[in-house]
Structure formats: structure tokens, C-alpha cells
Structure 1
């Protein structure tokens, strides 16, 4: 019986050590908005339609910039949810995800920002121009189903970098290296 108890104590100690190591390194694994931040977001409501204007602080880490210059496309998802409070839950009036990519073309020596949904793109001669363009997002009119006037509309905005679109050898590094935290923290507000 004593042998079993000593083994149990050792496994609990090992589990506790693993937990402490994981929690101390959590900030490395968590996307905390180090390089991409939401500076301003404003919702305009007209009748049963809404329009969102977003201003970001958008930078690339040295590792992401190096990957971009190596020909790896970088993808972001902009998730927008508009809700209103009901008695016991929030009713979703509108939910949509916009997808954007940033690519460098070596032969043309330019950058391309593409709206993946519309399949439209713009070319830029420098990375700073491309990032300046990506800092401003204007949505088209979003129809609100079940909108109640004079009641607060809860906006939920999240910009997330899609690490799954990176090449397989780079993905494990991207999940644990803080230089790949190219996402924002979720922003909620009421207008």
C-alpha cells in the first residue's frame, strides 16, 4: 500500500509541475493583440441596416514579415456579430466573417491585399502602404433581422490570424511563438 501512495504522490507532484509550467507560459500561447489592435470601431445604424467602420493598429512581427517575403500568404478573419438583448439571451441580428489575405510577389516586387469573399484585390509597392490599407475596414450595409429600435445593439468584433493557412512546418512554431500573435482580443460595445 505504501508503494502505491508514494507513486501517487510523485504523479501529483509531476502533474502540478506541468500545470505550473503551462500556466507560466500561457501568455506565449495566447493571442493577446501584441501586433494587431483595434483602435476604434464605430457602428452606424440606419433603419434596419448597420455599417461598421474599423480602425486598426496593424503591424507585422519580424518572423511574419520574413515569412511574407519568402512567399507565404498571411490570412486574417474579421468576425462581426450584432446582437440585442432579449429576456434571457442575446438575439443575433447579424453575423458574418470577412476574410483578407496579404501576399508578396517577388517577380513583380509588390504586395497584394485580397478580399477573399469578393475575390477583389489591390496591389501596393511597399509593405507599409499595404498595412496602411489594411488598417481601415469599412463594411457594406448589413441587414439586421429582428432589430428593435431604441434598444442597444451589442457589437462583437474579433480579428484573428489564421495560423492553419501557414505551411505545415511553420504551424507548430506559430502556435507557441509570441511573434505570431497577429490577432486581436475580442472587442464588445453597445451603441
Structure 2
């Protein structure tokens, strides 16, 4: 019985950790730029990681961020229609021996290395020229809305860390959807 009470107390401490703290993700701005065959996404994202997440990263725990992008076509008499939806995953990690941070996009597999956490955050927060939407999906004269959001994927954490992450608000890092109109 003592072990279960101790476990409950520990989980309660982790659950209360971070209430009212100043962390989270926020999409500051986003736009689609027409290119020859596609629309390119440019966006600025503010990443404010909690102390618990930074500490885990600095101790070698890789983190996975999911960037979600959607396009809806407005319809007057029905629900809006999802025209396009895509998620991109970025893995970030710290290499203690090299004392460097790394961003590894899962799609390309080409890593970017950074000497500091701040430099990595600057690169992570600046999305430039991502091919996200074929131009033929946008019909002239229609009203379209794009949405962008980011979240930390708790399910991608190492298994022993997940129970702590599930009960601690400091691990629930996500942005609200940022919406903007696309000229059709």
C-alpha cells in the first residue's frame, strides 16, 4: 500500500508541476506563396519549451514535433470541405559529446546541426518554402481557409518517460490553430 501511495504522491507532484507557467507553442504568422505548380508555406512559430522538456532534451531524450497543415473550402449550406491535409514530423535532439543540437526532418532525413539551443529554436521557428499544396486544388472564385498548428508528440517519447508526460501539463505543448484566408 505504501508504494501505491508514494507513486500517487509523485504523480500528483508532476501533475501540479507547471500550472500557470509560461510555456507553449504559438504560430505567429503564416502565408502561402504561389509557385509554378504548388503553393509554398512560409511561417513563424514561437516555441517556448517547459523546463522539464528542456531538461529531458539535454539528457539525451529525443523530441518529436508535429506540424499540421490543412486547407478547407468554405461551403454555404454544408460543413466546410477539407481539400488538403498534411502533417510533417521533426525530431530534435541534443548530442552531449558534441554539445550540439540537431533538427532531423523525418521526410528528408537530412539533419541540421546547431551549436546552441537558441540557434536551434531560431531555425525551428522559421518555416520557409515548404511545398505544401498543389495549385490545381485551389479553384478560382471559391473561398478557402488554411490552418497551421504544432504540437509535441508525447507518444514518440521513450516508453519509461510517457507516464510522467501524460500527467504533467509541462509536457502538453501545442499551439492553437492559426487560420488565414487563401485567395482562390
Band the TM-score falls in, shorter-chain normalisation: 0.7 to 0.9
Q: In structure 2, what is the Cα distance between the partners aligned to 1:169 and 1:62?
A: 19
2:37 aligned with 1:55: no
Deviation at 1:142, TM superposition (A): 2.1
Q: In structure 1, what is the Cα distance between the partners aligned to 2:107 and 2:36?
A: 26
Cα 1:146–1:128 change in 2 (3 A) is closer
Q: Which runs of 5+ in 1 are unaligned?
A: 1-24
1:70 match? 59
2:170 aligned with 1:172: no
2:180 aligned with 1:189: yes
Cα 1:146–1:135 change in 2 (3 A) is closer
Deviation at 1:181, TM superposition (A): 2.5
Q: Which runs of 5+ in 2 are unaligned?
A: 1-14
Deviation at 1:80, TM superposition (A): 0.6
RMSD across aligned positions (CA)? 2.3
Confirm or deny: 8 A CA contact 1:94 1:144 kept in the other structure.
no
Confirm or deny: 8 A CA contact 1:48 1:147 kept in the other structure.
no
Deviation at 1:145, TM superposition (A): 4.5
Cα 1:122–1:146 change in 2 (3 A) is closer
2:79 aligned with 1:104: no
Task: Name the TM-score, length of structure 1 as normaliser.
Answer: 0.76
2:118 aligned with 1:128: yes
Confirm or deny: 8 A CA contact 2:23 2:49 kept in the other structure.
no
Confirm or deny: 8 A CA contact 2:23 2:50 kept in the other structure.
no
Larger Rg: 1
